[in-house]
Structures are given as C-alpha cells and as structure tokens.
C-alpha cells in the first residue's frame, strides 16, 4: 500500500491524498491549495485558461499525473487525451474549496464519491458562480468548442450515507458523518488489503453536532487503524473558543442592544451559523436580509430533507437585491423585464418575490433589519447609509495570512468611515490542540500522519512519549506501508 500527499502538507487545506492498494487507485479529497496558489498568483495575475492546466502544473498546484485530467485542457497543452481514467475514484470529505474544488479539472468519467449534501453545495457553487474557469464541479461542458454544440454532462457522482460500505477493487471505504462548519461532512475508515487507515477530513468536537464526531471516533477505535491521517488546523491553539450556542447568544445580545441597523458577516456555507443568526433575528423581532447568492444556496439545500433550514420566503427572511447594470431595481415605473435583464439568470427568480428588498428599503427600515454584508458587499454601505447607532458583527475566523490581514484592515477602514463599531463572535470549525491530541490517543494508531496544518511537527512533539509514531509527509513523496 502506498500513500502520496499532493497537498495539505505544511498548509491548511489543499488536501489531495493518493492511495494505491494493489491495482486500486483512489484520491481522498481533491482540494484547491490556496497557499501554494497564492505564492504565484494574485487577483490580477491569474492562471490562464489558454494554457489548459499548464499554469497549475507548472507550480505543483495540481499534481503531475497521467490519466486523470480533462481531455479539453490536455489537448490545449498538446498532451495525449485520457482514454480511460487511471484512477478508480475520488472521495470527498466535504464541499469546502480546499477539499473539493479541483475536481473541476478531472476527467468527467472519474467517479466522485461524496455525501448528498456535499453534491448540493457543489451544484449551488457552480450555478451561482461569477467565474467560469475551474468551476465545473457539478456539470461539465467541453471548453474551446462552439458553445451551442457542447453537450453538458453531469459528473459521475455516487452519493453515500454514514456507515455505507463502498467496495472498490481491493479496498473497502466506510464514510462516517462528522461535525464541521459545513453540513454533509465525513471522515473515512479505509480497509486496504493489509492495512487499515482512518482519515479525519476536517472535524471538531465542540460543535452543535459533536455526537457525529464521537460516532467517527468510536468507529475508528473499533477499526484499530494502522494509520491515522489527522487534520491539525488548530494544533497550535490551546483555546477552545466559543461554541455555536454562545455565538448565537452573543449575536442576540448585540442585536438587542443595537438601536439602528445591524450588519453581519459570517461564512456563507456554515448552515449552523446561518441558523444562529436566523434564530437570533427571530427572537429579537428583526428580519434577516440575505444576498441572492445565499438565497440560491438555501433553495438548493432545501432539497436535502434532513437539513433544518427555513424557506427563502420565510416571514423572518428578506432577500437583498444589490444594484446591478444601470441600477434599474431602484427606479420607479420600470418594466419587470427591463430590471431582470440586469441580473444573472440564476438571480432573476428572486427579484419579484414579496420579500425582495433593495437598499432604499433597508435605509428606511434600519431598526428592524439585520443585513448580511461580507467583504465584497461592503460597497452596499454607500447605498444603504447606516444611521449612527448601527453595528457590524464579524462572525468569521481571524485573518490567517498577510493578504487576509490587508483585506481585514481595509474592512476596518470602511467600518470606521461609516461609524460602525465591530463586534466579534465566532466558533471554529476545527478542533483545538487538546481535542486533536485526545482523538489521536483514543484512536491509538501505529502511525499518525498530520496534514492540513502549518505546524505538523507539533504532533511529533506532543506525542513524543506515546506509542504513536508520527510521520511528517512531504509533498509528492511516496510513503510505503506494509
Ligand atoms: Zn479544510
Ligand atoms: Zn473544511
């Protein structure tokens, strides 16, 4: 059995774990490596579609491997097409970009195994995307040919549920649900010919669905894995931080104390966080105004009967329609069709809902609205004009690199300009040091491989006196396991 890590090594995210057992070849996660990409590219220095995958391969943002990529992009690089894919499948732990988004570059016949909710997230992300290159997560259309002649394929998805036993060649993969800051998140137990592996994906033990994480840990203990591949995002953090119920409590207090408009910024795909804000609004008799992108996501996720989320037409929800095109949304006596023309196809259906509002309505109803306003929506403040006595709730993690810090400081400038005091309230999607070490000690693998962290050596230091051997992976290095 051989393991190769093509991402997630000394970086948070970008997981691409390649497993070979006899003739079976599988990937576990195929995420986008933001930190590697950021080393070479920026907002105005982007990989070129004209070079197919060449710009990504040049810097190892995608692994150099035959028989896995899309024919259209390979052709563009004068490379041989993939006749039959060289791998048996890709398992996705969840729909966060750093675990799943590079499947957009894979050959359409490669089976993608994931939870039903993960598939819905990928569908919504593609359909409501403003970009094209690298966004074909759900459906696939050949590039570089006449648009009209292009057939559209759905990727080869196989959805699973917790506890399913998926036999592929010489392996059996068992996905187990696990709590993280996005629903539809899974960990895996992988039974190979002579070796058993447990892979955590991303997880936490302090979230609202912590029982799911315990279910995975129990299953992993039973499996007695030889190897535990564990995420270590917060191995350097001792503080557990707030739990989700405390976030909701704090948000509720802030909303009650605020006389005018409340503006909020939280992770778009964190349904637990959405529910915290939704509940806090309901209990303080305010309405939560969401963006069209959020409305589209909620509507797509509604297909998942197990997720408890309100309808977008719920009486406590408003849909904020931003100004687009010439801003006809805000003018009186303009034909509906004319306004619709200014919006993307996927947005049009929200324009005429009874609960759709624009900046004028928010400006007039500041006391009873909580408006979603992330970094990219800050420009809406110019139109909305928050009155003195308004507040901004920042419900995300602290900036983790220089670039994020620059953006964060830019946001602070906007808040200062508009006299908006900021309040922070966030619960992490990742387990802190103490929990990670507890998980390792309870599962007791022979070998532990830390990934998805900038401090993998801390596992080595912290488990020095245990019987667990810590193996620090290197990018592209083959690890043989017998
Ligand atoms: Zn991650
Ligand atoms: Zn994640």
Task: Quote the ligand 2 centre to 68 CA distance (angstroms).
Answer: 24
Cα 202 to ligand 1 centroid, rounded to whole Å:
6
Query: CA 442 to CA 228: how far, in whole Å?
Result: 11
> Which residues, including other chains, have CB under 8 Å from residue 61's CB and lie 6 or more apart?
32, 33, 36, 37, 40, 47
Q: How far, in Å, is the centroid of ligand 1 from the Cα of 32?
A: 10
Cα(39) to centroid of ligand 2, in Å? Answer: 21
Which ligand is nearest to the Cα of residue 429, counting in written order? 2
Q: Strands 356-357, 317-320: parallel, antiparallel or unpaired by DSSP?
A: parallel
- From the CA of 267, the nearest ligand is 2
Ligand 1 centre and the CA of 147: distance in Å?
34
What does each C-alpha distance from 344 to 67, 322, 462 come to in angstroms? 36, 12, 51
**Cα dist. 18→1, 54, 87, 91 in Å?**
11, 21, 10, 10
Please tell me whether residue 18 adopts helix, strand or coil conformation. strand
Among the bound ligands, name the one nearest to the CA of residue 7.
Answer: 1
Residue 466 has a pLDDT of: 94
Nearest ligand to the CA atom of 98: 1
C-alpha–C-alpha distance, residues 336 and 356, integer Å: 13
Residue closest to 172 by CA, chosen among 185, 188, 157: 188
Distance 98 CA to ligand 2 centre (A): 7
pLDDT of residue 43: 83
| CA of 318 relative to ligand 1 center, distance in Å | 31
Q: Which residues of 280-295 are buried (b: 16+ CB within 10 A; e: fewer)?
A: bbbebebbbbbbbbbb
How would you label 365-390 residue by residue, b for 16+ Cβ within 10 Å and e otherwise?
Answer: ebeebbbbbbeebbebbeebebeeeb
Length of the chain: 482
Residues of the chain under the 70 pLDDT cut: 146-148
Q: Which domains, from first to last, does the chain contain? A: 2-237+430-480 (3.60.15.10), 244-424 (3.40.50.10710)
| Distance between CA atoms of residues 4 and 7, nearest Å | 9
Q: What is the pLDDT of residues 325-350, one digit of tens each?
A: 999 999 988 999 999 999 999 999 99
Distance 24 CA to ligand 2 centre (A): 26
Share the mean pLDDT of the chain: 95
Beta-carbon count within 10 A of 62 CB:
26
b/e per residue, 137-159, with b = 16+ CB within 10 A? bbebebbeeeeeeeeeeebbbee
Please tell me the distance between residue 454's alpha carbon and the centre of ligand 2 in angstroms: 15
- The whole-number pLDDT of residue 147 equals 66
Q: Closest Cα to residue 173, out of 67, 17, 32? A: 17
Cα of 145 from ligand 1 centre, angstroms: 35
| Residue ranges of E strands in 12-156 | 17-21, 24-28, 89-91, 112-115, 139-141, 152-154
Ligand 1 centroid from CA 253, angstroms: 31
Indicate which ligand has the atom closest to the C-alpha of 186. 2
452 alpha carbon – ligand 1 mean position (Å):
7
In this predicted model, what pLDDT tens digit does every residue of 36-71 receive, in sequence order?
Answer: 999 999 888 999 989 999 999 999 999 999 999 999
> How far apart, in whole angstroms, are the C-alpha atoms of residue 249 and residue 312?
23
């Amino acid at each position: 059995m051989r393991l190769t890590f093509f991402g997630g090594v000394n970086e948070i995210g970008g997981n691409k774990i390649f497993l070979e057992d006899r003739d079976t070849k599988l990937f576990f996660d195929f995420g986008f490596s933001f930190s590697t990409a950021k080393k070479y590219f920026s907002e105005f220095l982007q990989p070129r579609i004209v070079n197919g995958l060449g710009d990504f391969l040049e810097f190892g943002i995608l692994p150099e491997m035959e028989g896995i990529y899309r024919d259209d992009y390979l052709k563009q690089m004068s490379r041989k097409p993939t006749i039959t894919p060289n791998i048996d499948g890709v398992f996705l732990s969840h729909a966060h970009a750093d675990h799943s988004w590079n499947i957009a570059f894979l050959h359409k016949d490669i089976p993608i195994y994931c939870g039903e909710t993960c598939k819905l997230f990928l569908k919504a992300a593609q359909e409501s995307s403003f970009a094209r290159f690298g966004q074909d997560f759900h459906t696939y259309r050949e590039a570089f040919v006449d648009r009209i002649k292009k057939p559209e394929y759905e990727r080869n998805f196989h959805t699973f549920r917790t506890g399913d036993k998926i036999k592929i060649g010489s392996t059996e993969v068992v996905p187990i649900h696990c709590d993280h800051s996005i629903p539809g998140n899974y960990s895996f137990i992988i039974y190979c010919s002579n070796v058993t592996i447990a892979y955590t994906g991303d997880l936490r033990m302090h979230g609202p669905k912590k029982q799911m994480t315990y279910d995975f840990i129990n299953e992993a203990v039973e499996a007695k894995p030889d190897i535990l591949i564990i995420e270590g995002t917060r191995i350097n953090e001792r503080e557990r931080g707030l739990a989700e119920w405390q976030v909701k409590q704090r948000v509720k207090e802030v909303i009650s104390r605020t006389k005018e408009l409340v503006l909020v910024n939280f992770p778009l795909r964190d349904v637990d966080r959405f529910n915290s804000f939704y509940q806090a609004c309901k209990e303080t008799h305010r309405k939560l105004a969401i963006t069209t992108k959020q409305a589209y996501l909620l509507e797509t996720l509604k297909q998942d009967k197990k997720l408890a989320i309100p309808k977008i037409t719920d009486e406590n929800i408003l849909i904020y329609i931003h100004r687009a095109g010439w801003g006809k949304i805000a003018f009186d006596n303009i034909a509906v069709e004319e306004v619709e023309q200014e919006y993307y196809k996927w947005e049009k259906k929200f324009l005429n809902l009874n609960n759709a509002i624009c900046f004028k309505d928010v400006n007039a109803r500041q006391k009873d609205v909580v408006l979603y306003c992330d970094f990219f929506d800050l420009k809406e403040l110019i139109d909305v004009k928050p009155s003195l006595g308004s507040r901004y709730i920042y419900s995300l993690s602290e900036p983790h690199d220089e670039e994020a810090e620059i953006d964060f400081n830019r946001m602070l400038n906007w808040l200062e300009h508009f006299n908006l005091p900021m309040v922070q309230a966030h619960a992490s999607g990742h387990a802190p040091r103490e929990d990670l070490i507890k998980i390792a000690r309870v599962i007791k693998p022979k070998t532990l491989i830390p990934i998805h962290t900038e401090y993998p050596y801390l596992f080595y230091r912290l488990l020095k006196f245990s019987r667990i051997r810590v193996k620090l992976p290197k990018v592209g290095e083959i690890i043989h396991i017998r």
